[in-house]
Every structure is written in C-alpha cells, then in structure tokens.
Amino acid sequence: MENLIFNQLGSCPSSVKTSDIGSAPFEIKSASAMDMSNSDFARTATSFRNFVSQKPDSQFPAKAGRYHLYISYACPWASRCLAILILKGLEKAISFSSVQPLWRKTKESDEHMGWVFPDSDTEVLGADPDRLNENPSLDLYPPNLQTIIDDTNEWIHDDINNGVYKCGFATNQETYDVAVKALFHALDRCEETLRKQRFLCGNTLTETDIRLFVTLIRFDEVYAVIFKCGKRLVREYYNLFNYTKDIYQIAGLSSTVKMDHIKQNYYGSFPSLNPLEIIPLGTNIDYSWPHDRNRFSSEIPLRRDCARRELEHASLVCELSLILLEIFGRLF
C-alpha cells in the first residue's frame, strides 16, 4: 500500500491527495501495491526509496519542521513509521496527520479510490484534516545488529507481514495451504526466539520488533477472521502475546493503534472477502495489562512514563495476588 507520504513543507500543496503527486511513478487504480492478477499475491516494490539524512549533500536534509508525515492508522506499514517517529521522540520535528480509515474518491471526477482527509476534526474520530528528537540514544538499527536485523526483516516481511495477505487473497486451496503453513511456521519461530530473549534480535528493541508488532496487533481482531489466519491466535502464544503487550506499553506506541480505524478499513475495503461489510465484534483485548518480559534484561532506553507504567502494573499484580490469597483464606 502506498499509504505513507513524507511531504516537504512548502514544496507540496497543503492538501495532498494520491492523485496530486505528480512525481509518483505509478497510476493508482485501487490505492494498493497489490497485484491480484495471480494466486501468489505478488506485491510491487515500494516507489519511495529516499532517506532523510544529516549528510551535507542529502536531497532530504534532517531539519525540524521541514517534513510532514501522512499515515493511515489502518495500515500496518504506515503505523510502523508512526511508531518509530514516536519512539524516537520526533513529534516536534516532524508533524503527522491521519487520513480516513476507508478509501474514497480523491476527487469527484476520479475513477480510482485512495486515502482522503476528512473535512473537519469531528467527521471521523482520529482522522485529521490536512493542515526535535527527544530520544537520540535510541538506535533501532545499531551497527552490531544490522546483519541479524536485515536477515530477520526478510522472513518477517515475506512470511508474516505479507504472509497474512497471501492467505487472505489466495485464489485456490493449494496456494492458501502454502501461505498459511509459512505464516505459522514463522510465528512459531518468533515464539521460540522470544522464549529466550526479550526482543527478536536480542535484548535490544530494533526496527524488526516494530515490523512484527504492527502485524501482531491486528492479527486476532482482523487477520485471523477476514484473511483466514485463525489456526492459532496471537493471544494463544504465551511469549508472542506478552511480547505484543510489552511493545504496546512503550511510551507513545499505544497512540499508534486505533482498532476502530483498523477494523473499518479491513472489513469495509475488500468486497470479495466481506461483501456485506459487517464488522464483527472482537474480544477487545486490553494490551495495557501486565506482561512478563521484564524477566529479561533490556537495553531499551524507555521513556519515563513507560517505566512508571511498568511499576504500576507490577504493583497491581501484587495487590491482586494479596486479594486472591485473602479470598481463598476465607473459603478454606
């Protein structure tokens, strides 16, 4: 999905629609990078390969106030960028806004559908009309882990991030069977890895964890249902579920998850999979509940409100334990 645009402020129109991006080397018919013409669900490579850099000759210099990030809370790819923006404490340097959760016509005269902005703050809750680094010690791509990060990113993307789509859009049983087998083999692999360490590449939070998180947080409510990935839910994996809660509770990351946007998009955007656009009731999992990942040492530079939250959760567990002991003591 081409859901993410870094707009250089002052160099683009204030209201950016997919149809207004003259430099984009593609024609959007369904606002998607998906090729549904074959049963293997081929995804075209992203068109955006530029980097914001502090190098003197950088085409996109690192400068506060120069860029604006457009995201869709429904899209895991875009949410991954927002998660890293918040982890890095860049909200003051790079502003962001969210589009509506469902694709609409970007212009009345357009045939294609794309991400659009609401006309007001109250039209769609959480979507915004179109209108400096505080955590420099956080390195999500540290030099000593780059090899393992690159290797892990490859199979996480192919078998999990894109794997759920391969399952959902498989056009025959054989293709689905191959995709779902690869998906759950990869999830089992993550479960085993997380049994021994806090994060995927060790006890340091990396971009690989954000890559996996945005799929895990959508899995039980969306992918297990509409993409036919219900063989086993994330909450049924002991380590994966606690890991998901651990990352969700890092300061600021919960704000990148808006389940109502996510469900509206997935259940309302694929008529071949859900023609009546019925949004099922979910389990409403509370990812703010305590996890056990603190049993591993961590090198993640948590922001203070997250550390305080972990202490509060630990205190809550102790209080609940005392209450249960008191109840059982009265019964017996």
Q: Which residues are catalytic?
A: 75, 165
* Residues shown for the chain: 332
As a whole number of angstroms, the distance between CA 92 and CA 112 comes to 34
Q: For the chain, what is the largest distance between any 2 Cα atoms, rounded to a whole number of angstroms?
A: 75
Neighbours of 269 (CB within 10 A): 19
Q: Give the gyration radius of the chain's Cα atoms.
A: 21
As a whole number of angstroms, the distance between CA 233 and CA 225 comes to 10
Q: Which amino acid is at 324?
A: L
Kindly state the DSSP code that residue 53 receives in the 8-state scheme.
B
As a whole number of angstroms, the distance between CA 319 and CA 115 comes to 46
Which H helix or E strand runs over 246?
helix 238-248
As a whole number of angstroms, the distance between CA 103 and CA 113 comes to 6
Q: What CA dihedral angle connects 280, 285, 286 and 287, to 10 degrees? A: -120
The number of C-alpha atoms within 13 Å of 141 and in the hemisphere containing its C-beta is 6
Residue 214, by phi and psi: left (phi above 0), alpha (psi -120 to 50) or beta?
Answer: alpha
As a whole number of angstroms, the distance between CA 93 and CA 302 comes to 20
Q: Which of 156, 183, 1 is nearest to 175 (CA)?
A: 183
Q: Which of 220, 216, 285, 221 is nearest to 247 (CA)?
A: 216
